[in-house]
Amino acid sequence: MTLTRRDHENKLVAKGDYGNADAMVNDIRSSILDEWHKDAPDLVVVMGRNLFNTLRLPMINAISTTNPNTELVAGQLITASRTIGALPTFFAPYFPDDAMLITSFSNLSVYFQKGSLRRFIREEPEYNRIATYQSMNDCYVVEDYGKCALIEGISFAGEDPEDKKEAEAQA
């Protein structure tokens, strides 16, 4: 999925599949989710903070002192709201930078296997401590796939993925 890329003055640089992330989320919501979940009031967009900041950068850059006050206030209201496609946004740590998940929190579960807790305690006098080793079988589950849409491979039009990988490797 490619989004239209804009420069620091908010001028169009390269046209993508969608004009912005709001349009993409609205399209995915109306075309992928099951009919009875499309208007669910508890839907959220789960994503990484880096992607959200990248999506909002052109809007923030468009706010300047030369804009009339009404545009400035409107721009600040838009950037202050953490929504995409009229859905609240949740930042998940270590979430991929090129992906979004549209679902509800009640649709995500953690399952624990009964009797899977393992614990081992060992005295380690060479380190002047007692070590506790513990593990457990658990898994993360999407309860209803019809109420979930994962969007992967989000990029901006005209952006070379190889250049992006090289920049990340150097950082």
pLDDT tens-digit map of 145-169 = 999 999 888 887 776 655 555 555 5
Q: Tell whether 166 is covered by a domain.
A: no
- pLDDT value of residue 67: 58
**For residues 167 and 171, what is the distance between their CA atoms, to the nearest angstrom?**
6
pLDDT tens-digit map of 101-148 = 999 999 999 998 898 899 999 999 999 999 999 999 988 899 999 999
CATH label of the domain that carries residue 152: 3.30.2320
Q: Tell whether 135 is covered by a domain.
A: no
Domain count, the chain: 1
Prediction pTM value: 0.70
Q: What is the mean pLDDT of the segment spanning 13-32?
A: 84
Q: Tell me if 97 sits within 8 A of 52, measured CB to CB.
A: no
Q: Tell whether 117 is covered by a domain.
A: no
Q: What is the mean pLDDT of the segment spanning 14-30?
A: 84
Q: What is the rounded average pLDDT for all residues in the chain?
A: 81
Stretch among 1-15, 16-30, 96-110 having the lowest mean pLDDT: 1-15
Range of the domain at 7: 2-108+144-159
Calculate the CA 21 to chain-centre distance. Answer: 11
User: What amino acid occupies position 113?
Assistant: Q
Q: Tell whether 89 is covered by a domain.
A: yes
Residue 19, pLDDT above cutoff 70: yes
Q: Tell whether 124 is covered by a domain.
A: no
